[in-house]
Structure 1
Amino acid sequence: MAGETVVNTQVEVKKGSSVSNVINKLSKASKYEIKTAAGVAGIRGTVVGASPTTITCLVGTISFVPAAGGGVQIVITGGSKVTAGALAAVKAGTAETSNLARAATGVTANVAANLVAQTVQQFAAAIAADAAADAGKNGGAAAATQAAADTAKTVMADLLAAVKQAAASATGDTKAIIQAIAANLEKNAAANTADAAAKGAGIAVKVNGGTETAAKDAAKAAAGQTTTDQSIVTKAVENANSSIGQAKQGDSAANHGTSGTTGNVGGGTANNNAAATTTTTIFVSPTK
């Protein structure tokens, strides 16, 4: 196709760990692969953590071919992981995805500071949605609402700390830029947390089979558990509506957490729908 940009990126992890944040693909022909002893992960528009024995997906979709799988392809969706020798993905758990989010946020801050605010909001919503969906399977909408609110508050604080840490270790102009972003995130912490909670609860109710009305009620309740400012709650529910509308029963809750429009991202309003992003970047942290 005329004008199409094709990028082929390969990363091999022999020891330690690697974190990649692929904001969006440049073209269908572009390829991003992470090679490990466990197999090869093809990533596109996703956040992934890789070690020689484990591939973990925070958001997006990974096509994974195990080294000893006889060519079997495993699809890893947001909030899931595959370990060496396994032939199916399993839930990664909030602790693991939160650690991945912190690492990816720090790497993004040091490489593409202008994307940090959007990244923080997307990660918080994705993890809140995933945790809420798990809680809601047995506890219903009330449990999903509580989990979304609690997780949003914890993760948002963790990611803000990661940005501040990145600012502390940066130098020159980059340091000033990241410090300004951290200040904006802190200023808008209440709104960003409410947004993540509302999205998380609403998406969780929908993917667990609830109605759109029930999902919006849960979104409002979750946002209300993070702030007493009703104007913030109202805006958070509005921001969650598109994500709630897109979510379907059985979907990956984490992946819906990154879709739709959210407000107050680092002091402004940004569209977090991956399809609207026009650039593609891969960030890889040094192996340890």
Structure 2
Amino acid sequence: MSAATSPRRPRRLPRARVSGGLALVLAAALLAGPNAAPAPAAAAAPLVAPLPDAVDVGQTLTVRGRATAGTTVAVQTRQGGAWRTAARATASGSGAFRAAVRFTAGGPAQVRAVVGDRASNTQRLAVYGWLDLATQPILVGSAAYVDVPATIGGASFPHSLLVQGGSASVWWRVDRQCTEVRYTLGLEDTEFPRSDGDEEVVSRVYALDEGVGSASGEVVAGWYTASPVTLRGLAQAERLVITGTLRDLDADGLSIVIGTPRARCNAARLGPVSRSDTHVP
């Protein structure tokens, strides 16, 4: 009788080994399915449209440009220091954006747009503001009270100059940063009791560069008369000088009032003025 034979077990096939990283990739692919959306592309750098050459302090400047649709655009400005975000906007479906900014001080400025870590082209412009000249670096050719209130014809003029000595010149260095100067000429009301009543003051304002100069017409003021003075077209001027002369030579003790002198400048502050600046071409 033959011996019974036991059934043979089937051979096991070796297991395929899958690394952990590959397993995660395969799992992600299975979960995503065949119709998974591709990863979004990084936002492109924005573009700022050309800006005007100049604006005034406080004026609304509209900044327009293009950026990736739906992105948040930071409109940044700089005036001699670090960049600061002045406004934010969201790019439309077509990629257009628009934002309004205002400058609070005069001086050369730069404007750009930023999306994430991508910055646009930089636009440059001049920002003009009115400077009180009595608060700026100044050189006076005679005794004077600087940055004081004055009264002419009952009207008050803050940040004024009261110049003594019968005749004087007042100098500033503007370095081609200014376009216009204004002030009011007169005699100080409170000094009338010390006068004989017939004094007059004569004034001119000059804009000078190294080669040529321009000047306002002669302006005359008597007691209780406020005479405004304006000179435009200073763009090429390096220095500015206001002169004043009393016509009555016996009135040396009286003050010539240069009331609230101001200049429209592409600067937050004027530079220092020295004796060497007082020569006339």
TM-score by length of 1: 0.24
Higher strand share: 2
- Structure with higher Rg: it is 2
Higher helix share: 1
TM-score by length of 2: 0.24
